[in-house]
């Protein structure tokens, strides 16, 4: 876990990393899916000396292997002070290349460290909804029982086109549902009756 200066969480944590199969360097990876990804801060760090050197493009998916860092998940249980933890701030937990079994392991880790509050943010609510349906059908470990009480779930909404993500979010089981309008690229009317929390901000990765 890394101490963070983000006002709404205490730590960021990335239990899923990405290995560059050509160089064996480990960093992060995601694929840009909408305008909010244009100036991605995670990509900037990843192509530099802190990551695996790969830009977040579709062709680079063939050079990536996602790996689970069990030690990172264990660090949640070792940290006994109740904290707010932002999970996978450097990637999207619901990226299409991350298998459901790996995502379930992350949820198991969150469930067994229930004195913490975990925050999960995605630009892929469609796949998140697929995951929860799969979890319910397969009765994984932990057994599916609806929303985990200590997991907050959010979607990024940067423009009018992506307001659709809020409708999908409403179908996802979560005790707290939130929207990150960051980067906020257009004037938006957010249906606050569908969410519990709203984050607003500009583009943090733009020069």
Residue 116 tokens, joined: 């913490």
- 183 cis-preceded (ω within 30 degrees of 0): yes
Torsion (CA) 176, 72, 4, 110 in degrees, nearest 10: 10
Q: What is the pLDDT of residues 68-96, one digit of tens each?
A: 999 999 999 999 999 999 999 999 999 99
Report the run of H or E that residue 153 belongs to, with start and end: strand 151-156
Q: What is the pLDDT of residue 113?
A: 97
The conformation of residue 61, written as its DSSP 8-state character, comes to G
Q: What is the pLDDT of residue 145?
A: 86
pTM: 0.92
Say if residue 81 is exposed, middle or buried (CB neighbours under 10 Å; 0-12, 13-18, 19+).
Answer: exposed
Half-sphere exposure of 95 (CA within 13 A, CB side): 25
Say if residue 61 is exposed, middle or buried (CB neighbours under 10 Å; 0-12, 13-18, 19+).
Answer: middle
Q: What is the pLDDT of residue 201?
A: 78
Per-residue pLDDT at 204 exceeds 70: no
Q: What is the pLDDT of residue 89?
A: 94
Report the run of H or E that residue 41 belongs to, with start and end: helix 41-47
Helix (H, G, I), strand (E, B) or coil at 43: helix
Per-residue pLDDT at 188 exceeds 50: yes
Strands 151-156 and 176-181: parallel
Distance CA 51, CA 45 (A): 6
Distance CA 47, CA 94 (A): 21
Residue 126 tokens, joined: 């469609």
Distance CA 101, CA 103 (A): 5
Per-residue pLDDT at 171 exceeds 60: yes
Strands 26-27 and 16-20: antiparallel
């Amino acid at each position: 876990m890394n101490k963070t200066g983000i006002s709404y969480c205490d730590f960021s944590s990335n239990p899923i990393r990405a290995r560059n199969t050509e160089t064996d360097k480990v960093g992060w990876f995601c694929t840009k899916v909408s305008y909010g990804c244009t100036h991605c801060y995670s990509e900037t760090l990843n192509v530099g000396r802190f990551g695996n050197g790969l830009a977040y493009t579709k062709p680079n998916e063939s050079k990536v292997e996602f790996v689970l860092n069990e030690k990172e998940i264990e660090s949640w249980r070792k940290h006994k002070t109740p904290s707010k933890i932002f999970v996978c701030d450097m990637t999207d937990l619901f990226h299409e290349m991350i298998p459901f079994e790996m995502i379930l392991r992350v949820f198991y880790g969150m469930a067994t460290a229930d004195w913490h509050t975990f925050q999960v943010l995605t630009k892929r609510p469609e796949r998140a909804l697929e995951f929860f349906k799969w979890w319910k059908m397969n009765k994984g470990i932990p057994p599916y029982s609806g929303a985990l009480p200590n997991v907050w779930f959010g979607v990024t909404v940067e423009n009018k086109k992506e307001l659709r993500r809020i409708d999908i979010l409403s179908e996802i089981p979560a005790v707290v549902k939130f929207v990150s309008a960051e980067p906020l690229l257009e004037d938006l009317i957010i249906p606050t009756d569908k969410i519990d929390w709203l984050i607003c901000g500009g583009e943090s990765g733009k020069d």
